[in-house]
Amino acid sequence: MREAHPVERAVGMEYYVSDASGIGGRLRESPEDFRVTEVEAFEPDPLDADPGAYPNVLARVTLRGWDTNDFASELSDRLGISRERVSWAGTKDKHAVTTQLFSVEKVDPDDLRAVDIRDTEVELLGRTGRPVLFGDLAGNAFEITVRGLDPDAPELADAVTADLRAFASGDDPGDIGGDDPVESGDADPIAAADDPVTVGVPNYFGQQRFGSKRPVTHEVGLAVLRGDWKGAVLAYVGNPAEREPESTREARAYVDETEDWAGALERLPKRLGFERSMCHRLVERQEEGDDELDDEDYRAALEAVPSNLQRLFVNAAQSYAFNRILSERLERGLPFNEPVAGDVVCFADSDAPAGVALPDTDRTQRVTEDRVRTVRRHCERGRAFVTAPLVGTETELGDGEPGEIEREVFDDLDLDPGDFDLPGEFASTGTRRAILLRSDLAISRREDDALAFSFTLPKGSYATVVLREYLKGDPDDL
């Protein structure tokens, strides 16, 4: 295993599982280089269905260069409705072309059809009795082009693919041909053809979960879980990062030094809308006579941002702990493709669309010593998946060495399942998540010497977690 980039290690991704050299390059020279299409798992009723029983209009929207939250805000503004009436199944990256589901509550379909927003296409699909919710999709299909590559990129990609095939199956990379082809002069064109091969990586939460240029959402969440509401606001509004523009760093440093929220509003760039919303709320509280702000005021500031962002803070803390657990499992040499005694597995969703291996984390089983061989066979056939916890109030930890890893990580972070018994959107019961991410991946060469990667992932998994193994560079290039 190779040690990961320092920015990745800061969010719990300690290693690459591929020892082969990276291909270099960068993603997203244009939005068209990163295409994402949701694998839908939501069937609407017709548009002419009774709006009383089916108040939500479902649309398939293609966005070019739009952040999901920003588009939802723009759409609600154009329609003259509350942003809370716009829902979606999955949050997508801004620097991409994305096709995804949105629902809008209590809107005339003709009004939605008439909205003309730049770089968007809206296709109305029908009506639903409830809004589309986060997770109402089976997965995402990716078509990603990597440019600016190392001259030996095709051969290096072959070597990475060999390592990832071995990780998916638990085999020794040498058995599949994982020697560096550039060194040996004997390249096996595993990844250069259009035919897909099955690869596997740790199912890390990608850098986007925490902030690509400023990975702080987990720091906000950890402060919330410790009851430090003021610290959570300062972690989000203050806390400057080296990769931000100088003016932004100066504004955040001013917040840290002065805690002058009115002054912060004068300095924070307009594009930092969520930070400004928190400051506005604190200024309002002070104007109401609360010169000495308390925990209730700082919690109110955090609640000034959209509900999905409030949830993300705590979710990011869970994700950070999960990444740490996976990194520790790698370091100890425990398998990802099959269980050991003490693991908790979940079973495959039998209703998932073809081509998507979707874990059903509502159906779990603890693996005892006498059940290891049986459960391993289920994992080999794609019927079960080894999991780790996304800790919450109802989390049950594993036994044996897997449980030991989980407890050590939570102790180090000073986390306890009871900490997630919080008000409003900050509460979480927790769940489990598969630790191995498998996909059938194809790589094709473009005429301009770029490489194009095509693969499909189950919902909640990150394409960049696959691509980071190939590029092995700065997460800014992902």
pLDDT tens digits along 276-316: 999 999 999 999 876 789 999 999 999 999 888 999 999 99
Output the DSSP codes for 77-138: HHHTS-GGGEEES----SSSEEEEEEEEET--HHHHHH---TTEEEEEEEEESS---TT-EE
Note the pLDDT of residue 389: 97
- Classify strands 384-390 and 431-434 as parallel, antiparallel or unpaired: antiparallel
CATH number assigned to the domain with residue range 42-135, chosen from the 4 options 3.40.50.2000, 3.40.190.10, 3.40.50.620, 3.30.70.3160: 3.30.70.3160
Average pLDDT value over all residues in the chain: 92
How many other CB atoms are found less than 10 A from the CB of residue 270?
6
What percent of the chain is predicted at pLDDT more than 70? 95
Question: Mean per-residue pLDDT for 318-335?
Answer: 97
Looking at the predicted structure, is the pLDDT value of residue 179 above 80? no
Catalytic residue among 93, 136, 349, 419: 93
Report which DSSP code applies to 1.
Answer: -
Question: Mean per-residue pLDDT for 74-80?
Answer: 96
Query: Tokens at residue 20, please?
Result: 């082969």
**Domain range summary for the chain, segments of one domain joined by +:** 2-32+140-203+437-477, 42-135, 209-305, 318-434
Q: Say whether 228 is catalytic.
A: no
How many other CB atoms are found less than 10 A from the CB of residue 359?
25
Query: Tokens at residue 225, please?
Result: 């879980």
CATH superfamily of 318-434: TruD, catalytic domain (3.30.2350.20)
Tell me whether domains 42-135 and 209-305 share a fold. Answer: no
Note the pLDDT of residue 187: 42
413-457 pLDDT, tens digit each: 999 999 999 999 999 999 999 999 999 999 998 878 899 999 999
Note the pLDDT of residue 188: 45
- Separation between Cα atoms, residue 478 and residue 370, nearest integer Å: 43
331-364 pLDDT, tens digit each: 999 999 999 999 999 999 988 887 788 999 999 9
Note the pLDDT of residue 176: 46
User: What CATH architecture does domain 209-305 belong to?
Assistant: Orthogonal Bundle (1.10)
